Amino acid sequence: MIRKRFFILLLSSFFVWNTLDAQSVTPAISSKTNSKTTKEEILIRRKMLDFHQLSGFITLGLWLATNLEGEKAKDSLYRKSDEYAKILLLTRPEYSNNDPLYSVSLFQGLDQNSIAATYFLFKDPANNFPLYFALKSNEEWEAKHSGSFSQTISIFYFWNVSSNCWFSFFCSSKSCRFGRFGCKYL
């Protein structure tokens, strides 16, 4: 048992030492003789990085707009069965005797938390179960605000992320550090 732990410790320290030793090698600094091409490369790199930054901000805005429109579409969902259950509740005025939930379920707005169909079942389960089952068996979800605008924004978001990746990938790979004596490539 102790030999296994010692062997694992020895092996892991060997790999850590090799990894640290591999990272200690510094790259050689190369300088180009043609200063005009380096200036052009730097200007192209700066323009691409500016476009990359602008594209990043636009991407962030599109992401936020996509989420807001998606939430608006999600919050406007309601069950079609609750709409029909309100009509059935209007045909049964005897349920309204001293019951505040009748008016709540009848005049509540249509959304995900609408209780009209459930109230209709619980008021008289023996008689209302067939109607409740018919309502719920073919239940459909409707939306007051469609999600097509969110879908359109998400398509623009995808293309903007793609262009952002393109700008960052095709920038020149050398970075330039300005010092006292001009640009030095790293």
Per residue in 122-173, pLDDT (tens digit) is: 788 888 888 888 887 877 878 777 778 888 888 888 888 888 777 777 765 5
Q: Where are the alpha helices (DSSP H) in 95-147?
A: 100-107, 116-123, 125-137
The 3-state DSSP class for residue 185 equals strand
Q: Tokens for 61? A: 């805005």
* Gyration radius from the chain CA atoms: 33
Euclidean distance between CA atoms 52 and 170, whole angstroms: 10
Predicted TM-score (pTM) of the model is: 0.51
